[in-house]
Chain A
Amino acid sequence: MKATQLKLNRKTALKGAILFIASLVMVSCFDDTKTTYDDTVDIPVNQEMIAELTSPPHVPTPVGRRKAKKLVVKMEILEKEGTMTDGVTYMYWTFGGTVPGSFIRTRVGDEVEFHLQNHPDNKLPHNIDLHAVNGPGGGAESSFVVPGHSKVFSFKTLNPGLYVYHCATAPVGMHIANGMYGLILVEPAGGLPEVDKEYYIMQGDFYTKGANGERGLQPFDMQKAVNEQADYVVFNGKVGALTGDNALTAKVGETVRLYVGNGGPGLVSSFHVIGEIFDRVNVEGGSLVNENVQTTLIPAGGAAMIEFKVDVPGTFIIVDHSIFRAFNKGALGMLKVEGEEDKKIYSGEIRDDIYLPEGPGIQSMPTTDEIIASEVPAKSFEEQMEFGKQTYMQTCFACHQSEGQGIPNAFPPLAKSDYLNANVDRAIGTVLHGLTGEITVNGEKYNSVMTRQMLSPDEIANVLTYVYNSWGNSGKIITSEMVEKVKNQK
Chain B
Amino acid sequence: MKNGAFKFLIVSIAFFMHCELFAQSEGMVYIEGSRYIPLYGRDSTVVEVKDFEMDIYPVSNLEYGDFLKKNTNWQKSKALKLFTDKMYLTNWKNDLQLEASALSNSPVTYVSWFAAKAYCECQGKRLPTIDEWEYAAMADETTKDARVKPEYNKKILDWYEAPRSNENTIGMNAKNAWGVYDLHGLVWEWTLDFNSVLITGESRKDVDTDNNLFCGSAAINATDLMNYAAFMRYAIRGSLEAKYSMKNLGFRCVKPVTK
> A residues bordering B, Cβ < 8 Å?
79-81, 91, 120-125, 127, 136-137, 140-149, 168-172, 174, 219-220, 222-223, 226
Contact = CB atoms under 8 A, between A and B. Distances in A.
B232 A170 contact: yes
B225 interface: yes
Interface stretch (B5-13, B170-178, B202-210): B202-210
A125 B200 contact: no
A123 B239 contact: no
Given A81-B163, A121-B164, A141-B200, 8 more contacts: A121-B163, A123-B161, A125-B236, A125-B239, A127-B201, A137-B202, A146-B240, A170-B234
Nearest to B207: A170
B52 interface: no
B87 A222 contact: no
Contacts of B200: 141, 144
A123 B163 contact: yes
Interface of B: 87, 157-158, 160-164, 188, 199-206, 219-220, 224-225, 228, 231-232, 234-236, 238-240, 244-248
A144 B239 contact: yes
A79 B163 contact: yes
A140 B163 contact: no
A145 B239 CA distance: 6
Most B-side CB within 10 Å, residue of A79, A143, A222: A222
A168 B232 contact: no
Contacts of B87: 120, 148
Nearest to B241: A146
Given A146-B240, A171-B232, A223-B220, A123 B202 contact: no
Contacts of A174: 228
Contacts of B203: 140, 168-172
A120 B235 contact: no
A140 B202 contact: yes
B161 A91 contact: yes
Contact of A141 (B161, B201, B238): B201
Contact of B202 (A121, A149, A168, A171): A168
A219 B247 contact: no
24 contacts: A79-B161, A91-B163, A120-B246, A120-B247, A121-B163, A121-B247, A124-B160, A124-B232, A125-B236, A136-B202, A137-B205, A140-B201, A140-B203, A141-B200, A141-B205, A147-B246, A147-B247, A148-B247, A170-B199, A170-B206, A170-B232, A170-B234, A171-B228, A171-B232
B168 to A, nearest CB: 13
